[in-house]
Structure 1
Amino acid sequence: MRTIAFIFAGLFLCTACGSSSTKTTSEEMTTADSSTSATEHDIAGSYTYQQDGDTVALHLTIQGTKAMGHLTYAWKEKDHNSGTLEGEVENGLLLANYTFESEGMTSVREVAFRLDGKTAKEGYGDVEEKDGKFVFKDFNKLNFDTGLVLTKQ
């Protein structure tokens, strides 16, 4: 009788250990998936800047590292332009092609924003024209400290 009790106890321990291992792996996968989704969710959304009659609005959708959206600049008593964004987000930095219409002409230029889930800070730097669009000369030299700060809505 004592031998049978030890066998059942051993089987119980082996089964319990196996279930625990599987459960931990499942929990780890869920945590990893939710952290990725949370990051995308935190960054995606609508951001605006409004001051002295000037308005800038950014609407952003994120899928993995791909970013898509709409960007509008409405300057008081100046040009207004509005268009689409397509680009990449890596480590909270968005680099995208902004295709927009201004004064009846379609143009393309690169835009950059540092995103933290609460704000989108526009980056500025030297640009050059390549293949019909304006691109940053060196993405690593962009300045995000003096640009517009859009607030998430």
Structure 2
Amino acid sequence: MKITLAILASLLLCISCKNPKSEEISSENEETVATEELCFRNEYSFPDSTENIDVLNLDLHIKGDSVTGNYNWLPALKDQRHGTLEGTIENKTITATYRYMQEGIEETAEITIVLKDDKAIITGDNPNSGLDTEVAKIQCNVD
């Protein structure tokens, strides 16, 4: 009887244990997807003021063919535009949905970002939106 209980307890213990190898494999597979951080920034100084600087920045996080990021226009003396983007990349061209807030209004636009060695070229689906520009590539801040 003691042997039967010991065998039964051993079987229950084995059944209740998870297979840690399968978890390791799935996390290893996730890590093999290429990831990249890219940063772009333009600064426009006022000719008569060193304190006032308009800033345009674009930060991208690319994982495989998925892209997320932030695209912000931060003028010193006007209402700013803060937004996030989400999309895909193929052949250094990103197609994304850009959601932003400006002057208290939420807007959505479809944008295309062409990545070059030294800049990003951004075009929006509406030429009057003010989204079209080129932004210089910079070194990302590593925390």
Aligned runs of 1:1-153 on 2, under 5 Å?
37=34, 40-41=35-36, 44-52=37-45, 53-123=53-123, 127=126, 147-153=133-139
Measure the CA separation in 2 of the matches of 1:112 and 1:152. Answer: 20
Measure the CA separation in 1 of the matches of 2:111 and 2:79. Answer: 17
Measure the CA separation in 1 of the matches of 2:126 and 2:71. Answer: 19
Unaligned runs of 5+ in 1: 1-33, 129-133, 135-143
Whichever structure has more helix as a proportion of its residues is 1
Whichever structure has more strand as a proportion of its residues is 2
Cα-to-partner distance string for 1:27-79 (whole Å, 9 max, x where unaligned): xxxxxxx9x83xx53xx322111123221111111111110011111124333
Contact persistence 2:93–2:113 (CA under 8 A): yes
SS at match of 1:79: coil
Measure the CA separation in 2 of the matches of 1:95 and 1:78. Answer: 28
Q: 1:117 to 1:68 in 2, by over 3 A?
A: farther
Q: TM-score, normalised by structure 1?
A: 0.54
Measure the CA separation in 1 of the matches of 2:113 and 2:44. Answer: 19
Show the counterpart of 1:24: none
Unaligned runs of 5+ in 2: 1-31, 46-52
- Shift in Å, 1:117: 4.7
Contact persistence 1:120–1:152 (CA under 8 A): no
How many residues are matched? 98
Measure the CA separation in 1 of the matches of 2:103 and 2:91. Answer: 35
Measure the CA separation in 2 of the matches of 1:151 and 1:54. Answer: 17
Equivalent AA in structure 1 for residue 115 of structure 2: L
Identity between Structure 1 and Structure 2 (%): 26
Equivalent AA in structure 2 for residue 59 of structure 1: D
CA RMSD of aligned residues (A): 2.7
Equivalent AA in structure 2 for residue 46 of structure 1: C
- Shift in Å, 1:99: 0.6
Measure the CA separation in 2 of the matches of 1:74 and 1:59. Answer: 14
